[in-house]
Amino acid sequence: MSAHPPLTAGVSRLGTESAFEVLGRARALEAEGVDVVHLELGEPDFPTPAHVVEAAAAAMRRGETGYCPAPGLPELRDAAARYLAAPRGLAIDSEEILVATGAKPFLMFAVLACAGPGDEVVHPDPGFPIYESVIAWSGATPVALPHPFDPERLAALVGPRTRLVILNSPNNPTGAVLAQSELRALEQILEGHDCWVLSDEVYARIVYGSPAPSVAALPALRERTLLVDSCSKTFAMTGWRCGFAAVPPALREPLTRMIINSTSCVPPFVQRAAVAALTGPMDAVDEMVRTFRRRRDTVVQGLAALPGVSCATPEGAFYAFPDVSGTGMSGAELAERLLVQEGVALLAGAGFGRHADAHLRISYAAAEPRLREGLARMGAMLERAAVQDRGRTAP
């Protein structure tokens, strides 16, 4: 007999997020007394706005602590419909909205509902690692769409086996935003293909220039696009687990069954908090975005000053994705050395796809002094590495 009964092949194909692994290692270093600069987690370092917390507390006091309808409370479905529709110039009916425990269940459930063995799912690369993970788990083949977006590349990747195309703008980890002209090109290509589109727009409110255009607003794709958003990033509510999506009719009932089979519902008091978030004052969100913008500038300028490092300016989200190939090290090697030697926790680009070995992902959801400290430690390490290199090559 083996050490344990067998597991499925599918479960071994399920991936993970390197952020949680690096966080675990960073915490272990802290337990040994190391002062760690945390630049690994994709989570706003702001408190959930007070009126949102109060709405949840009031709902709990009223006794809203039982099961509730699986698609979501009518009030939240209504609020989410209006919240998603207004900035995109769309008409969204509250019936179209489903509520789940974050954006993540929508990613997993949509892939499972749309694709299986023999099918293909196109996903951004570099991209949020959960896409490739759940595609592989479903048995479908993940097809990487490289950054920057190139219509010809997409046209070559999409074919009769394509069941779903996943987009993420603003993007984690690059911070890039898809332009309207790029979305139009995408619309033309996908028009002739019988595939679903999932637009992960969890960073839609966190942009530093004009609003990010949405693929859901393109007439030819509107009917087959799942528009996914979440309270996690916009309202600093990562731990509350509340996401929402505008879901095309044919997928609504299957996705509702998946919610019933897995989590039943999002706790009603969390949904009350989400209603307060979506319909209440936005000053806390606006202030958070202004702060992220200042930090982005600090990080991009700081990275530009480091030897061998170059970084595109992120247009949204709160990540920088520098190319470190000029240092002579891969992203993975540099990330490892920064953690172990300097106590700087950040992520190797490789965790985000096949086209990202030369990159690091830096989350600037950290206070400005810590960002400066992290950059200073990176600079000191790269300077030492350059001196050692010169020592080795000296005659």
Please provide residue 53's backbone torsions phi and psi, each rounded to the nearest 5 degrees.
Answer: -60, -45
The interface mask with ligand PLP, positions 159-178, x = CB under 6 A, is: ---------x---x------
Closest residue to ligand PLP using C-beta atoms: 102
- Three-state DSSP at 236 gives coil
Minimal distance in Å, beta carbon 104 to ligand PLP? Answer: 4
The yes or no reply on residue 234 touching ligand PLP (CB under 6 A) is no
Report how far apart, in Å, the C-alpha atoms of 3 and of each of 6, 7, 65, 378 are: 9, 12, 42, 44
Minimal distance in Å, beta carbon 355 to ligand PLP? Answer: 17
Closest to ligand PLP by CB, 217 or 317:
317
The yes or no reply on residue 104 touching ligand PLP (CB under 6 A) is yes
Minimal distance in Å, beta carbon 37 to ligand PLP? Answer: 20
User: Rounded to the nearest 10 degrees, what angle do helices 104-114 and 249-262 cross at?
Assistant: 120
Half-sphere exposure of 389 (CA within 13 A, CB side): 10
Report how far apart, in Å, the C-alpha atoms of 23 and of each of 29, 241, 251, 372, 394 are: 10, 20, 36, 20, 39
Closest to ligand PLP by CB, 233 or 295:
233
The yes or no reply on residue 83 touching ligand PLP (CB under 6 A) is no
Closest to ligand PLP by CB, 232 or 330:
232
Q: What is the DSSP string of 297-319?
A: HHHHHHHHTSTT-B-PPP-BTTE
Stretch that binds ligand PLP, among 101-109, 153-161, 266-274, 364-372 (CB under 6 A): 101-109
The yes or no reply on residue 243 touching ligand PLP (CB under 6 A) is yes
For residue 172, the tally of other CB atoms under 10 A from its CB is 25
- Angle CA 26–24–291, to nearest 5: 65
In one letter, which amino acid is 234?
T
How many residues bind ligand PLP (CB under 6 A)? The answer is 13
Q: How far apart are CA 140 and CA 195, in angstroms?
A: 14
Choosing from 78, 200, 323, 342, the residue that interacts with ligand PLP (CB under 6 A) is 200
| Segment (H or E) for 387 | helix 368-393
Minimal distance in Å, beta carbon 230 to ligand PLP? Answer: 3
Closest to ligand PLP by CB, 133 or 172:
172
What is the maximal distance between C-alpha atoms in the chain?
A: 78
The yes or no reply on residue 103 touching ligand PLP (CB under 6 A) is yes
Q: Which of residues 126-145 bind ligand PLP (CB under 6 A)?
A: 128
Closest to ligand PLP by CB, 128 or 321:
128
Q: Would you state the structure tokens that stand for residue 190, as one six-digit string?
A: 């996908």
- Three-state DSSP at 359 gives strand
Contact footprint for ligand PLP (CB under 6 A): 42, 102-104, 128, 168, 172, 200, 202, 230, 232, 238, 243
